[in-house]
Structure 1
Amino acid sequence: MAEQKPTKKDFVDLINTVMGTNVMTEDQLTRFLNEAKHVKDTSGTEGLLEYVQRVTNAPTSKDQLKKLANQIQQTGSAGAALDFLKNENLLTEQQARKLNKAIEQTAKKKKKNRRELLK
């Protein structure tokens, strides 16, 4: 059976867990993703990176965002992405631990749901 991919709800839960408060809904994430796709289609990667910076107020450079995207594409690993963010001083050790814990909880929940579906 193919591995289930995270849902929008999973991402929203992850974001809200990391932030420690409900800062995003599934509808907001859907709007963000739709707008990001539109920006990418009309303005390319550079436009997309500028959009992400503007919308998230992320304290990152476009170069850092490009490197992060490349890291995720090359490794497919959340751990490698977290290491990159720590090395670039974009996450503290505490934030990285919190994010990693939320990712692990989501993975466990997905695994449990798959087992229940197979029963």
Structure 2
Amino acid sequence: MTDQKPTKKDFVDLINSVMGREVMNEDQLSRFLEEAKKVKDTKGTEGLLEYVQRVTNAPTSKDQLRRMADHIQKTGSVGSALDFLKNEKLLSDSQAQQLQNAIQKTAKKKRKK
């Protein structure tokens, strides 16, 4: 069986599952990604980090976002990204567990298809 990349629908389902309600649809995600690419192309990484902070209201510093992105690139692991968020006190243990459960649930749905 070939590994399939997650679709936009998979990401939307994950986001909505984590939030406990519908906060995003595929069109909104597409617009977010298109705008993020434009910002990255015109303003570089710093501009992209500012954009992510502004749009998501993430309670993080640009430095934390940068370190998290570096960490994810180095490890390629969702689990280690969750550990990073917990270590930075951006997620509680229970929030990280909820997120992990939502990721696993989404992955199971994907495998059944």
TM bin (shorter chain): over 0.9
Q: Hey, what does 1:60 align to over in structure 2?
A: 60
CA RMSD of aligned residues (A): 0.9
Q: Hey, what does 1:19 align to over in structure 2?
A: 19
Return the alpha-carbon distance in structure 2 between the equivalents of residues 94 and 16 of structure 1: 17
AA partner of residue 29 (structure 2): L
1:25-49 Cα deviation digits (max 9, x unpaired): 1111000000000000000000000
Return the alpha-carbon distance in structure 1 between the equivalents of residues 59 and 24 of structure 2: 19
Return the alpha-carbon distance in structure 2 between the equivalents of residues 39 and 50 of structure 1: 9
Q: What is the aligned length?
A: 113
Runs of 4+ in 1 over 2 A off after TM superposition: none
Q: Does 1:72 align with 2:72?
A: yes
- Which residues of structure 2 form unaligned runs of 5+? none
TM-score of the superposition, structure 2-length normalised?
Answer: 0.96
How far did 1:109 drift?
Answer: 1.8
AA partner of residue 58 (structure 2): A
Query: Secondary structure in 2 aligned to 1:109?
Result: helix
Q: Hey, what does 1:44 align to over in structure 2?
A: 44
Return the alpha-carbon distance in structure 1 between the equivalents of residues 10 and 54 of structure 2: 23
TM-score of the superposition, structure 1-length normalised?
Answer: 0.91
Return the alpha-carbon distance in structure 2 between the equivalents of residues 6 and 36 of structure 1: 19
AA partner of residue 90 (structure 2): L
Choose 1 or 2 for highest CA Rg: 1
Return the alpha-carbon distance in structure 1 between the equivalents of residues 91 and 72 of structure 2: 16
How far did 1:95 drift?
Answer: 1.1
Query: Secondary structure in 2 aligned to 1:29?
Result: helix
Q: Hey, what does 1:89 align to over in structure 2?
A: 89
How far did 1:60 drift?
Answer: 0.2
How far did 1:2 drift?
Answer: 3.5
Return the alpha-carbon distance in structure 2 between the equivalents of residues 57 and 25 of structure 1: 18
The sequence identity of aligned pairs, in percent, is 73
Return the alpha-carbon distance in structure 2 between the equivalents of residues 35 and 4 of structure 1: 25
